[in-house]
Chain A
Amino acid sequence: MESLDEDARLMLRYRDGDTDAFSALYARHKGPLYRYLLRQVRNAGAAADLFQEVWSRLIATRGRYEARAKFATYLFHIAHNCTMDFFRRDLRLQTAARDAMLHAPPSEPEVPEYQRPDVIAEFAEQQSALLASLHALPREQREAFLLHEETGLTIEEIARVTQVGIETAKSRLRYAVCKLKKSLASREIMEAAPLRPRRDMKAVNAST
């Protein structure tokens, strides 16, 4: 609880003009946010764009910030909205590309780079079995899992961030866990790599 109060305090300080407070806040949350975005959209370029967009929105609306809830829910609520906008744009682009293919065969459709089959294949080769299973999940289940793993949000907080009921959030996380466990059961658990803390925040806290 102390760390969440600390986040809110930092954000309030930044709202009131203390830019150093933002640097501390950024250091705490940049890793989890980046991984959440990267593993949602599965493309480094798109994730970087979204990352910048999320922080830009946070900065632009800092004057309206009030510490009503955990700061992470505030930040990831913005991230959730940005991601949803991204997927909606992506869907429109796919539809436009499909229409272009149907009606104008000579020109190559404008499919974004991250959707090109070769790029997807390259990305898939770089990831582990667990990440491959994670990416195979439906988007909502993947998001619930990532929010819990990367930020430590509870089911109630995940529900708030994703704007669904608690039972829905719980069901999504349950399905995600069940499917990932099944996929893990069929493979040997890697034990060579050391464990990393759940959040970058812990590393920051430890150093301060």
Chain B
Amino acid sequence: MHPPDELDEYLRGDSALSCQYRREPAPTPPPALDALVLDLAHRAGAGGARVARPRRDPCLAPLAFAASVLLSVALVLAIVFGPQGSKRADDTPRVMRVAYSSDPKLVRPPRAWLADIAALRRAGRTHEADEELRRFRGAYPHYSIGDPP
């Protein structure tokens, strides 16, 4: 579409087009505009050489260090004594769910199971206690427990 050397020839700077452009009048800003810009620059320069340059205040360095240490300590304390590390608020037993099985090796010892059921009942979780008791009876149909826990 374009001759390959047309732009290269122009970029050399001595093309007829460049010559023609340089013959055109070369307007410059009016003197009032010159004065305005120079005044602005001089006033800004006189007002402080590095006004716009952000500088770190050396007094802030120890403060920043102290804040970092404080945050680190707070984070460690939160991890150590946080919700995961704290004692559970209630002491209700977490009953281990064991699937019912006819295999006696897979069921829990009856005493421990009954103790957990009793703890559930003490905690007011009657429905869960009844459910566990039903499973217990399924697993140990001949175990005598007297009064249900």
Contact = CB atoms under 8 A, between A and B. Distances in A.
Interface of A: 14-19, 22-23, 26, 30-31, 34-35, 38, 48, 51-52, 55-56, 59-64, 128, 130-131, 148-149, 155, 170, 173-174, 177-178, 180-181, 184, 189-190, 193-198, 200
A56 to B, nearest CB: 6
A52 B36 contact: yes
Given A17-B49, A48-B29, A60-B44, A128 B38 contact: no
Contact of A184 (B13, B17, B41, B45): B17
26 contacts: A17-B50, A18-B45, A19-B45, A19-B46, A30-B28, A48-B29, A55-B37, A55-B41, A59-B41, A59-B44, A63-B52, A130-B20, A131-B24, A149-B18, A149-B22, A174-B2, A177-B7, A177-B15, A181-B17, A184-B20, A189-B19, A189-B20, A196-B26, A198-B13, A198-B22, A200-B28
Secondary structure of the B contact surface, majority rule: helix
Given A15-B49, A16-B50, A196-B22, 8 more contacts: A23-B38, A55-B41, A148-B11, A178-B6, A181-B6, A184-B20, A195-B19, A198-B22
Interface in B1-32: 2, 6-7, 10-11, 13, 15-24, 26-30
Contacts of A30: 28-29, 34, 37
A52 B37 contact: yes
A59 B40 contact: yes
B51 interface: yes
Contact of B40 (A35, A56, A180, A197): A56
B42 interface: yes
B33 interface: yes
Nearest 9 A/B pairs, CB to CB: A17-B49, A63-B53, A63-B52, A19-B45, A193-B23, A22-B41, A55-B37, A34-B29, A19-B42
A195 B36 CA distance: 30
Given A18-B45, A26-B38, A64 B29 contact: no
Contacts of B21: 130, 149
Q: Which of A22, A184, A200 has the largest count of B CB atoms less than 10 A from its CB?
A: A22
A28 B25 CA distance: 18
A177 B45 contact: no
B29 A174 contact: no
A130 B22 CA distance: 11
A30 B34 CA distance: 8
A32 B2 CA distance: 29
Contacts of A148: 11
Given A17-B45, A55-B41, A197 B27 contact: no
B29 A173 contact: no
A31 B34 CA distance: 11
Contacts of B17: 177, 180-181, 184
A10 B103 CA distance: 92
Contacts of A35: 26-27
A14 B41 contact: yes
A31 B28 CA distance: 5
Contacts of B42: 19, 22
Q: Which of B6, B23, B53 has the largest count of A CB atoms less than 10 A from its CB?
A: B23
A174 B7 contact: yes
